[in-house]
Amino acid sequence: MSHLCLCFEVHQPTRLRPYSVFDSDGHYFNHTLNRDILLRVAKNCYKPAFGSLLRSVRKHQGQFRFALSITGQTLCAFKRHCPEVILLLQELSQTRCVEFLAETYHHSLASLYCQHEFRAQVDLQMAIIDELFDQQPTVFRNTELIYSDAIAQTVNQWGLFKGILLEGTQTLLEKQSANYIYHSPAADNLKLLPRNFQLSDDLAFRFTHAHGKGKPLTAKSFASKIDRVAKKTQIVNVYIDFETFGEHHGRATGIHTLLDELPQQVLDRPGLSFITPAQAMANLPTAGPLHVPSPISWADTQRDLSAWLGNPMQANAMSRLFEIKPLVAQTHDISLMHTWRLLSTSDHFYYMSTKCYNDGQVHAYFSPFDSPYDAYIHFMNVLDHFVEQLPTPPGVSPEIVPDLPLSPSPQTPFDPLPKDSSPRKKKSLSELLQKFSLRQSMHPTKPRPLT
């Protein structure tokens, strides 16, 4: 018996508003834009797609199972603006066929900078999952699948989780397969579940042309691809952004039809069943240790940290943010800490990327700003004003995970912006995906801004 493990990531950032040096108020976030994007994505994706999953779970009476990873700040936005999505998620949870994963509440890179803050954001996430869905997650999925042996060691020390999800990069798995369970050499009892990025990206990015001759992928053809891989392996792990269903690919493409039909198509194949990450880690043997000495992620073609730390602007903004964290904590001001944590969201640094070519176009597409320089300037203006609200000037160095420097890795030099650095016209996501080579693997995790 082989297994398909489906995991869906749901995240909406709290985007900043344009904030100049002349602004002097504490209203940093573009609440109107954030609300409007959330409502649009809820209409196109969350409500119809979660409804489809609920119908499939009930129809198949426990045979169809999957996992969800939803950031805490997104759940709070659902509660505020579209509580009907929360009701759908609660119905899914009550079926006991849906596993909620743990992650960082604010979708931050705290795991790279501050172990105390890393744990605090995970605890916040665990608390809201327990409150809303009466579940205590036993599997961890870090922001953007960022993972290394050092992070595994930190997570293992908490004693909360059976295992971690990570990206199955070609470099990492050069002589191994993503379709097995491994364990961390830093913690033998911590199991690792790598993503099959080829199959995941067939659905997430190549959906409209993955079937050949320009035809979209169908549930039948996708289930057949999974079955061919599964016959030779232990488990197939497909992890994608949930916004794939109706937002990245519109209803007219047939993406919702695929979601409706996929559970039946998989279950019709003898020897293939659905499994959640916790079930897999509890019931399947490991194939050995998987060493990950340097951090990896599922972002961009490089699958490293360069999506958020690939240029000096990003490194400076991130360092400055974590430099003031101890001072924020010393104030014991809940409002200030909440604002600081919203600023720690990885999306703000993603928008500052100056990468060129395919990755650069995707970064620009999902940014609410006209250029990475604008994203940096507005963020730093906000941060400067925020620092002025603190009782003392910054002077405390952040707690840093020893093997992760604040500056970009010398192995991942930043890409300069093209000579023509004028604001870039945003293309539709379908145009971008059609343009990219089928062999490319990108990971845009942000819903497109309103146009």
What pLDDT is recorded for position 353?
A: 92
What pLDDT is recorded for position 438?
A: 30
Task: Tell me the mean pLDDT in the region 276-284.
Answer: 97
Q: What percent of the chain has pLDDT over 70?
A: 83
Whether the per-residue pLDDT at 171 is higher than 90: the answer is no
pTM (predicted TM-score)? 0.86
Which listed residue (99, 144, 167, 261) is catalytic? Answer: 144
Do residues 226 and 238 lie in contact, with contact meaning Cβ atoms separated by under 8 Å? yes
Name the pLDDT band for 365 (thresholds 50, 70, 90).
Answer: low
Domain residue extents for the chain? 2-289, 306-435
Beta-ladder partners of 9? 69, 241
> What are the φ/ψ torsions at residue 126 (nearest 5 degrees)?
-60, -40
The 8 Å CB, 24+ separation contacts for 39-44 are 39/81, 39/82, 40/247, 40/450, 41/12, 41/243, 41/246, 41/247, 41/447, 42/78, 42/81, 42/82, 42/85, 44/246, 44/247, 44/250, 44/251
Domain 2-289 adopts which CATH fold? 7-stranded beta/alpha barrel (3.20.110)
Whether the per-residue pLDDT at 85 is higher than 80: the answer is yes
What pLDDT is recorded for position 204?
A: 85
The 10s digit of each residue's pLDDT in 322-355 is 999 999 999 999 999 999 999 999 999 999 999 7
Do residues 180 and 235 lie in contact, with contact meaning Cβ atoms separated by under 8 Å? yes
The 10s digit of each residue's pLDDT in 372-392 is 999 999 999 999 999 999 986
What pLDDT is recorded for position 381?
A: 97
Do residues 291 and 149 lie in contact, with contact meaning Cβ atoms separated by under 8 Å? yes
> What are the φ/ψ torsions at residue 232 (nearest 5 degrees)?
-105, 0
Name the pLDDT band for 405 (thresholds 50, 70, 90).
Answer: very low
- Count CB-CB contacts under 10 A for residue 411: 9
How far is the C-alpha of 448 from the C-alpha of 250, rounded, in Å?
12
> What are the φ/ψ torsions at residue 273 (nearest 5 degrees)?
-140, 165
Could you tell me which residue, 299 or 31, shows the higher pLDDT?
31
Q: How long is the chain?
A: 451
What pLDDT is recorded for position 450?
A: 33
What pLDDT is recorded for position 104?
A: 98
Do residues 365 and 306 lie in contact, with contact meaning Cβ atoms separated by under 8 Å? no
Note if 247 is an active site residue: no
What pLDDT is recorded for position 375?
A: 96
What pLDDT is recorded for position 299?
A: 87
Name the pLDDT band for 358 (thresholds 50, 70, 90).
Answer: low
Name the pLDDT band for 300 (thresholds 50, 70, 90).
Answer: confident
What pLDDT is recorded for position 214?
A: 60
Average model confidence (pLDDT) across the chain: 86
Q: Lowest-pLDDT range, 256-270, 309-323, 347-361, 380-394?
A: 347-361
Nearest to 194 by CA among 259, 271, 125, 277: 277
Whether the per-residue pLDDT at 419 is higher than 50: the answer is no
